[in-house]
Structure 1
Amino acid sequence: MSKAVSTQALALLTQRVFSLEEIQRQLEAGKFPCTIEETGGGDVLRGKLPHDGPDVVIEVVASAWPDKIEPEQDLGPFTRSGALERACKFNMNWTNAAEVAHQHQGVILVRMVQPEGAASEKPTEVLAQLIAVAKVSRAIGTLPDVAGYFCPGGEIFVPIEVLDEILQASKVAGFPPLDLFANLRLSWLDDRWIIFETMGNTQLGMRDFEVYADSKQHDLNDIAAWLRRWSWQHLTAENALEDGTVTQGPGDASYDVLYADDALLAPKRSVIRLIAQDEAKMPEGLPARLRIDRA
């Protein structure tokens, strides 16, 4: 029998340590059948995604989310050390995210598992599976004492009610709920130039995006919306931006498209750089760092 490996992982940070039995009752009340299984590392809940999809394995961790991920910890294939800290740092809407994260006592880990060596799936198929796992997490999250929803691979930490709001808004708008799986991170390179980036597209088999632009010439809200649009576009390979070309962005601005394997900010990952063709001088040293010929 082939070994089953974790291919995606979401988490709920909790104010107390839950039992598998109460999580099982909650899920079965929501029509998601699951059974408690004994494994070498302890008991887990196991269920199956709809339409004969992959298995979902739910584990209770009786400790806080670790700052450093050790090799033997199976917290998801896209989980990196410092993920929760960065999720709180780049949280634009939840002002006390760091406080809530600091106070949590346990973790409910919701993982999707598939046979080792299973065929790679298209980004659209992976996204559909991630959405299904998020819905399982939402069902658990209605229990009292769930502090928040955490996507370690996308470094997103939001109040549990936001999980439901994003899923509902996505259904109404017909736009995938990328806000649940990939963070948007804004950093200032000097008093004018910014880097606006996605963090988490790797979970979908895609590169993340880095946008470099002069904040005096571009609306940051528009750039954020376009980051999601570019990600959506890349869900289908035939629509992907080509390396070395120029693309149009918000306000009909032109952006140079450059593929790179050295993201400017942690964590290390492959990215697509979109560099605005602005007249303003770039920060000293940045053109050389990005390997472009620009003043």
Structure 2
Amino acid sequence: MAKGLFTQGMCVLLRSPVGMAELQDKLSSFDMIGVQESAMDGASPETLVMSFRPEVGGHLLVTPSTERWPDQMGDPDTSPDVFVAWSLGQFGPLAFPGCLERAAEQSWGWEDGEDVPQQHTSHIRLLISYVLGADESESEEDDSDDVVLIPDDYDPIAELRFLTKAVSALLELPQAICYFNPGGEVLRDQNGLRQGLNYAWNYELPPLDMWTNVRLFRVDESWALMDTVGMGQLDMPDMEAVYDTDRYEPAEVERFLRNASLYLMSTDEEFEDGDVADGPGDLSWNAIECEESLSDPPRETIRWFPDDGSDPPEALMRRTGDDEDDPYDEEPEDLDDEAFEL
């Protein structure tokens, strides 16, 4: 789902449900506006509404649920309520079916991330919205006929920082297991998130690895696909790299993709077909613009491949999702977690 009614979303997975009083206590440093009630969702009957950029009608919505995270995002026939909620972005505007499963399979930054999150029984959703959460008095004062989904001075990094601050507070709940970012497919326990944020602060960097993930898929005996997921939160394309595993180390490719993402965050320039960058192996890597990624979730990407005379499999060079079969093995390659540390 694209950004619209909601512009960002994060989640905290829980061992057991939490009450509204507990939530308000942990979020006492935030400016609470009120509580919204829902007659449609018995598992999430109430939502805390917190102030975020009130000058443009922004709100942070914090919704506890007594149910597990709905990783398949419902079905129009068998679970239409969940499906409609997903289609409206209520699980995060960039959440895509299977995001928690993929995050667990590719949890290189948290050793226990593959198993521990599966113990959750309930969760808390955090969303940013500029059109939802306003109280009746705010709505009556608004004389405009046009609904502005995203303000002109929209700042996704400010949103992510604000959400991360709220998540950090909620991880202090005794019921909290971990932080989960559906759009970036990232899992971290409280200690891991704190360390990641401190590292970024010390080096004056955005905590990109706390918001986005890097994943690795084995394509065949010789070729691999590595990609980032979650740059859409920043309104930027994700990166993909296809390479011969006998020639390049995963840690070097991961560093290359992270640096390419950080470059986009620091400039107004964009990568285009034919662009070249210095990459792993002290070689030039070529970029192509792709309408659809090689792996879920579907999204536009910049795909990189080394200018080393190698011939990537044809399936790895496709730019659209027209092919019937995925070109990679669904199971991620088994790698040392340290290969993916920044």
Normalised by the length of structure 1, the TM-score is 0.88
Could you tell me which of 35, 38, 54 is aligned with 2:36? Answer: 38
Aligned to 1:10: 10
1:24–1:35 Cα contact (<8 Å) kept: no
Correspondence 1:155 to 2:185: yes
| Cα deviation code 1:157-185 (max 9, x no counterpart) | 12122111111111101111111211100
Unaligned 5+ runs, structure 1: none
Aligned to 1:210: 240
How far did 1:232 drift? 1.3
Unaligned 5+ runs, structure 2: 40-44, 74-82, 132-146, 321-342
User: How do residues 226-245 of structure 1 correspond to structure 2 at under 5 angstroms?
Assistant: 226-236=256-266, 238-245=268-275
| Cα distance between partner residues in 2 of 1:287 and 1:130 | 32
Q: CA RMSD in A?
A: 2.3
Aligned to 1:22: 22
Matched pairs, number: 284
SS at match of 2:5: strand
2:99–2:182 Cα contact (<8 Å) kept: yes
| Cα deviation code 1:163-217 (max 9, x no counterpart) | 1111111110111111121110011222232211001111111111101122222
| Cα distance between partner residues in 1 of 2:272 and 2:317 | 22
| Cα distance between partner residues in 1 of 2:156 and 2:203 | 20
User: How do residues 144-223 of structure 1 correspond to structure 2 at under 5 angstroms?
Assistant: 144-223=174-253
SS at match of 1:211: strand
Aligned to 2:312: 282
Correspondence 1:72 to 2:70: no
Deviates more, 1:66-75 or 1:101-110: 66-75
| Cα distance between partner residues in 2 of 1:158 and 1:247 | 31
| Cα deviation code 1:254-284 (max 9, x no counterpart) | 111100112111221111011112234434x
CA 1:180/1:133 → structure 2, altered by over 3 Å: closer, same or farther? Answer: same
Aligned partner of 1:252: which letter? Answer: D
1:36–1:43 Cα contact (<8 Å) kept: no
SS at match of 1:112: strand
CA 1:274/1:288 → structure 2, altered by over 3 Å: closer, same or farther? Answer: closer
Deviates more, 1:161-170 or 1:12-21: 161-170
1:213–1:275 Cα contact (<8 Å) kept: yes
How far did 1:156 drift? 1.0
| Cα deviation code 1:104-142 (max 9, x no counterpart) | 01111111111353346678x202220111111101111
Could you tell me which of 143, 146, 149 is aligned with 1:118? Answer: 149
Could you tell me which of 71, 75, 81 is aligned with 2:97? Answer: 81
1:68–1:81 Cα contact (<8 Å) kept: yes
User: How do residues 76-115 of structure 1 correspond to structure 2 at under 5 angstroms?
Assistant: 76-115=92-131
| Cα distance between partner residues in 2 of 1:196 and 1:96 | 21
| Cα deviation code 1:17-65 (max 9, x no counterpart) | 001111111121xx22325413334321121237967311101011000
CA 1:249/1:95 → structure 2, altered by over 3 Å: closer, same or farther? Answer: same
1:213–1:278 Cα contact (<8 Å) kept: no
CA 1:173/1:51 → structure 2, altered by over 3 Å: closer, same or farther? Answer: farther
| Cα deviation code 1:234-255 (max 9, x no counterpart) | 1255332222222222343211
| Cα distance between partner residues in 2 of 1:88 and 1:121 | 36
Aligned partner of 2:26: which letter? Answer: Q
Aligned partner of 2:148: which letter? Answer: G
SS at match of 1:63: coil
Aligned partner of 1:84: which letter? Answer: L
| Cα distance between partner residues in 2 of 1:288 and 1:33 | 49
Aligned partner of 2:31: which letter? Answer: P
SS at match of 2:241: strand
User: Stretches of 4+ moved more than 6 A in 1?
Assistant: none
| Cα distance between partner residues in 1 of 2:241 and 2:54 | 38
Deviates more, 1:243-252 or 1:97-106: 243-252
Identity of counterpart residues, as a percentage? Answer: 26
| Cα distance between partner residues in 2 of 1:176 and 1:51 | 24
1:127–1:204 Cα contact (<8 Å) kept: yes
Normalised by the length of structure 2, the TM-score is 0.76
